[in-house]
């Protein structure tokens, strides 16, 4: 009986081992489906990554091409073009445009005219050469005397280089018509900080008759002494024409001269004015 049991046991053991091996060797359908799903998901992820990488590389190439176009355009235009980012905002570099000259901005002739008073007609004839030479040679303007209308006419042309040439020439001729010498009036063409100021004696104080003549006499002085001292102290030029006073000089100097002349018109004697002129000269010399 023992031998028979052993053989049965052996037979049963032998029959069980191949069943287990076959069970372990062949996977089930569920396992196969799960492995296929994982493989499909991994393939999709790889495809998406590849598409993102290709899209990013295309964007980088487009940016590089845009930058290259901007650089070539800026080089062709002389570097004056303003570089702009993708958002439309300007970069840190600023556009450097060359200043526009009067010749480039010339659109047509501009004219100015200055009336000639009767008492300045003869001096204008005598000093005509001294007047038109700086206007034509330095300001590059055209000038003529209209005899019928008795006025001096100024006009720009294509050769005019400065924008304020017409205004400066107008001030120069106007100063001569007011009574200034040509040598003093030419300074208006050469310097930028010179101005003309005109006021009436009656603007300071209402005087008439003999009182007006005495006020004008105090401003001029005996033989023009007071006027010359004010000019030398304030570094200005003064013309007293009837009841009008014309001052040529810098802004601060005109203010000092006008203040002193106003004191004389009000009635202060010239002896007191000489004392104040010393302090004015020291103050103006300290500024320079």
Q: Which domains does the chain have, with CATH numbers?
A: 111-180 (3.30.1370.10), 195-287 (3.30.1370.10)
Find out whether 243 and 202 touch, Cβ atoms under 8 Å.
Answer: yes
The mean per-residue pLDDT over the stretch 265-277 comes to: 84
Nearest to 226 by CA among 187, 281, 269: 269
Tokens describing residue 41: 């998901």
The mean per-residue pLDDT over the stretch 101-119 comes to: 79
Find out whether 120 and 177 touch, Cβ atoms under 8 Å.
Answer: yes
Tokens describing residue 173: 């001729």
**Which residue did the predictor score with more confidence, 93 or 220?**
220
Mode of pairing for the β-strands spanning 142-146 and 151-155: antiparallel
Distance of CA 272 to CAs 158, 224, 269, Å?
55, 17, 6
CB atoms within 10 A of CB 154: 22
Nearest to 263 by CA among 273, 277, 254, 278: 273
CA distance 258 to 20: 126
What pLDDT shows up at residue 13?
47
Which residues 6+ apart lie within 8 Å of 138 measured at CB? Answer: 189
Which residues 6+ apart lie within 8 Å of 199 measured at CB? Answer: 244, 245, 258
Find out whether 155 and 142 touch, Cβ atoms under 8 Å.
Answer: yes
**113 φ, ψ to 5°?**
-135, 145
For residue range 188-204, list pLDDT tens digits in order. Answer: 998 888 999 999 999 88
Find out whether 138 and 162 touch, Cβ atoms under 8 Å.
Answer: no
Q: Is 78 left (phi over 0), alpha (psi -120 to 50) or beta?
A: left
- Comparing 99-103, 113-117, 153-157, 193-197, which segment has the lowest mean pLDDT? 99-103
Report if pTM > 0.85. no
Find out whether 238 and 227 touch, Cβ atoms under 8 Å.
Answer: yes
Confidence of residue 159 (pLDDT cuts 50, 70, 90): confident
Residue 21 has pLDDT above 60, yes or no: no
């Amino acid at each position: 009986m023992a031998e028979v049991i052993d053989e049965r046991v052996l037979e049963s053991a032998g029959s069980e081992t191949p069943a287990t091996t076959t069970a372990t060797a062949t996977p089930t359908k569920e396992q196969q489906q799960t492995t296929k799903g994982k493989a499909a998901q991994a393939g999709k992820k790889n495809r998406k990554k590849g598409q993102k990488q290709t899209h990013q590389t295309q964007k980088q190439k487009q940016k590089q091409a845009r930058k290259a176009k901007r650089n070539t355009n800026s080089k062709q235009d002389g570097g004056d073009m303003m570089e702009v980012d993708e958002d439309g905002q300007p970069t840190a570099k600023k556009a450097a445009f060359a200043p526009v000259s009067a010749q480039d901005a010339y659109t047509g002739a501009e004219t100015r005219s200055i009336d000639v008073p009767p008492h300045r007609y003869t001096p204008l004839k005598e000093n005509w050469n001294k007047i038109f030479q700086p206007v034509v040679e330095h300001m590059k303007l055209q000038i003529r005397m209209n005899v019928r209308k008795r006025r001096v006419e100024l006009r720009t042309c294509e050769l005019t280089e400065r924008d304020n040439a017409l205004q400066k020439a107008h001030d120069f001729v106007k100063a001569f018509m007011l009574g200034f010498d040509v040598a003093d009036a030419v300074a208006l063409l050469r310097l930028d900080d010179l101005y003309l100021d005109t006021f009436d004696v009656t603007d300071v104080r209402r005087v008439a008759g003999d009182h007006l003549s005495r006020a004008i006499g105090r401003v001029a002085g005996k033989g023009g002494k007071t006027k010359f001292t004010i000019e030398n102290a304030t570094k200005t030029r003064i013309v007293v024409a009837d009841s009008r006073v014309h001052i040529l000089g810098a802004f601060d100097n005109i203010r000092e001269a006008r203040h002193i002349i106003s004191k004389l018109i009000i009635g202060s004697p010239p002896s007191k004015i000489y004392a104040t002129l010393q302090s004015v000269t020291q103050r103006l010399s300290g500024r320079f």
